[in-house]
Structure 1
Amino acid sequence: MVLWGTAVNAAAIIAGGLLGLLLPKLKDGIKETVMQGLGLSVVVLGFSMALKSDNFLVVIACLVAGGIAGELLRIDKGLQWLGTQLERLVGNGGSGKVATGFVTTTLIYCIGAMAVLGSLQSGMEQEHSILYTKSMLDGFSAVIFASTLGVGVLFSAIPVFIYQGIIALAATWIALAFGDVMLNEMITQITAVGGILIIGIGLNVLEIKKVNVANLLPAIVMAALSVPVMALWN
């Protein structure tokens, strides 16, 4: 089953989120400290990913072009609107917590090399070991995020399933179209750009600076396309 690994990943997020909601209510001081720890961890993860690329000028160009495209497409507002609708659905009284949990964890779980590599592995090899590992990590973090950000974390399983499912279903075509060498370079560039976006998520979690990470998402597509474009150029 091509989508099995993706289904397990989505189920792990839901299970972890439910467990987080069932945990005894944490004191505000504990929640704040936990979120700070998560924010710092996310920033460190982002830095480790961002340094994967040897061509940082391409990464910068992708971020600029992707940011312009994201602003024109209003991706951030679209995600916030979807989060608001979910908030109305669960009757949270318009506090904004559901939307925040949904948007934050959706970005964290969808951005990164494991989401892409695992989905490609599922699609091309019918092997799901990478997504199994990602499921464990996402499920554990969902416990913490749900205990602090609430029920919105559970809904992030939906875009994760759609995003990774599309990659898994298209994996064979992608491999045939680009070949192993170019595909590996594309993943490297995607990882580097994704790492910078994850740093932005960490800054948001730490409330240091509000970064519209969602509007930078097209940069990931730009990063993937930059590899074949540069190959043709050369």
Structure 2
Amino acid sequence: MPIGIITNVCAIFFGGIVGSLAGKKMSDEFKSGLNMTFSISSICMGIYAIAPMKNLAAVVFSVIIGTSIGIIFHLGDAINKGARGMQRFISRFVSAPSELSQMEFEATLVTLIVLFCASGTGIYGTLTEGMNGDATILISKSILDFFCAVIFGANLGAVVALIAVPQFVVLMLIYSLARIIFPLTTPNMILDFKAAGGVLMLASGFRIVKIKMFPTADMIPIMAVVLPVSWLWTNVIVPLIH
């Protein structure tokens, strides 16, 4: 049983519900302060994930190639459409916060979807649990995700809880493929993979406080291309250079 995945999904689901119920009791100053806290936390986690990377060029190429794929196939637009569908569904039962414009609401929701569903820590933690049953990484991540969901649930409403659904689907798919993927990797490939996830977390951190609205949804394919690019760089490109 994937204990780590279940814990992480429940943390977001219940965090979103708690935030939507308690949001009116939180002051704007309190919510704004915690938003900045989560932003810097995401940035710090991104830096921590990037620091041990082995092949800078491979990670840079992965960022460029992955983002290009996302833009070409309009992945961001598809996720925006999904976010609007989630909001329409939840609005049948509860109203969305009126202080946010539709554009601001969608931009924040997309940032959260990427942060919860496609972070390097989450994907690596899922691979680890799928391979050897160690749920420690995902359980640790769940603590931050719970409080993050509470605060953004206060801003966006109960729709945040619904992010648990695509997250469960994504993580269970990775969990199912873990026994196939993990044996094909090397320690250096995993470090580059975590670094690529760190880039996504950095971009998400900047988006949370609107420093720079990176196309994080379009950047998700980075996580799919970084392992093969890292392998090619190590086994094909580097021998040619040397």
TM-score range, shorter chain: 0.7 to 0.9
User: Match for residue 192 of structure 1?
Assistant: 195
Pairing partner for 1:111 from 101, 118, 128: 118
Identity of aligned residues (%): 25
Contact kept, 8 Å, 1:100 with 1:149, in 2: the verdict is no
Counterpart for residue 211 of structure 2: 208
RMSD of equivalent CA atoms? 2.2
Aligned to 1:69: 69
Superposed displacement of residue 18, structure 1: 1.3
Q: CA 1:130 to 1:208, structure 2 compared with 1: closer, same or farther past 3 Å? A: closer
Calculate the TM-score normalised by the size of structure 1: 0.87
Q: How does 1:40-119 map to 2 (within 5 A)?
A: 40-91=40-91, 92=95, 95-96=101-102, 99-119=106-126
CA distance in 1, matches of 2:177, 2:20: 35
Q: What is the TM-score when the length of structure 2 is the normalising length?
A: 0.84
Of 82-91 and 22-31, the range deviating more from structure 2:
22-31
Deviation at 1:24, TM superposition (A): 4.8
SS at match of 2:53: coil
Q: 1:114 to 1:85 in 2, by over 3 A?
A: same
Secondary structure at 1:212 match in 2: coil
Q: Is the 8 A contact 2:46 2:201 kept in 1?
A: yes
Change (3 A) 1:32 1:63: same
Is residue 147 of structure 1 aligned with residue 146 of structure 2?
no
Indicate yes or no: 2:228 matched with 1:225: yes
Moved more, 147-156 or 195-204: 147-156
Decide whether aligned partners of structure 1 residues 68 and 167 sit closer, same or farther in structure 2, where only a CA change above 3 A counts: same
Does the residue aligned with 1:61 lie in a helix, a strand or coil?
Answer: helix
Structure 1 residues 139, 171: CA separation in 2 closer, same or farther (over 3 Å shift)?
same
Contact 2:121 2:194 in 1 (8 A): no
Residues 1:135 and 1:89: Cα distance change in structure 2 (over 3 Å): same
Cα distance 1:130–1:209, how it changes in 2: closer, same or farther (>3 A)?
closer
* Gapped regions of structure 2 (runs ≥ 5): none
Which AA in structure 2 matches 1:68? S
Q: Structure 1: which 5+ residue stretches go unaligned? A: none
**Residue type of the partner of 2:22?**
L
CA contact (8 A) 2:120 2:196 kept: no
Residue 17 to residue 174, structure 1, CA distance change in 2 (3 Å): same
Quote the offset at 1:142 in angstroms: 1.4
Aligned with 1:221: secondary structure?
Answer: helix
Aligned with residue 145 of structure 2, among 114, 138, 142: 138
Distance 1:126 1:87 in 2: 35
Which residue number corresponds to residue 31 of structure 2?
31
Give how far 1:231 is off. 4.2
